[in-house]
Copies of this chain bind each other. A is one copy, B any other.
């Protein structure tokens, strides 16, 4: 590997391919798929970006009581080509949070919190969740997914429970711009539907855990039948990724007793769904725009004057 040699064009290209500030979020998202020693490393870099950026691989390995290999592996999991790049990102992150605003850590919602506080904390948590998701979303994957949807002959959306509602949201939106979409709530029906899919069709699976059998199964079937498959999940390493052409990662904020992870995942998922929708609407603007206003007008008489 020659690293970034001739590959860099002489022109100005300031944008950063690796996400800048999403590190803490990514650590949280990916921690479950890490081994113990990797988690130690991830914790160290998330906890002290500045300090870690000052260390070499060997130094960081020593500080975390692991080996160089583990440090590199962790960097890979976090989405960087190697430690060198993680280190750069750490330096950037440190500067950013030194210069910028406080990360604003919210306390968990407690049983005896007054309602006013509950409202504030919930709003804050969900906002954080949105920021994390936006920061961690892989634009290239999104682009690919949007492209597939925009030209899809037919779209199936698989999700169970709360995720099914998100799926229905997507379906409602897609229908409004003229796409053919379904979000079967019944797992058997989902598989039955999936069998019908072929190349040119798109299947979207939504599952926070990435391990929900009832959602993996229809996606697998769709995948094997040649449909383009998209997974919206909080565990991009999960089993579901095996059957997904494009993986869109949602971030899960910390969970508390009263607010399980499943609850906050919905916010992330909806953001991703909205992005998909807007993307598709942009690409099919000629037909989407009139379809949107048509559907608006068609509903007008259902409202009181």
Contacts and interface: CB of A to CB of B under 8 A. Distances in A.
Interface string A114-155: 011011101100110011011001010011001000000000
Contact residues of A: prevailing secondary structure: helix
A238 B65 CA distance: 47
A55 B285 CA distance: 39
A160 B4 CA distance: 54
A303 B212 contact: yes
Contact of A14 (B50, B212, B258, B263): B50
Contacts of A21: 95
Contact of A137 (B16, B119, B160, B259): B119
A292 interface: yes
9 tightest CB-CB pairs across the interface, nearest first? A92-B95, A123-B134, A127-B127, A211-B303, A88-B91, A211-B304, A95-B96, A91-B92, A14-B50
Nearest to A177: B258
B51 A13 contact: yes
Given A165-B168, A259-B278, A266-B169, A134 B111 contact: no
A33 interface: no
Contacts of A113: 282
Nearest to A88: B91
Interface residues of A, number: 94
A21 B21 CA distance: 19
Contacts of A247: none
Oligomeric state, in number of copies?
A: 2
Contacts of A88: 53, 87-88, 91
Interface in A264-300: 266-267, 270-271, 274-275, 278-279, 281-282, 285, 289, 292, 296, 299
Nearest to A3: B56
A298 to B, nearest CB: 12
A111 B282 contact: yes
A4 B56 contact: yes
Interface string A39-76: 00000000010110111101100010000000000000
Given A3-B56, A212-B302, 12 more contacts: A16-B50, A20-B95, A92-B94, A93-B95, A96-B98, A111-B285, A119-B137, A119-B271, A123-B131, A126-B271, A165-B165, A258-B278
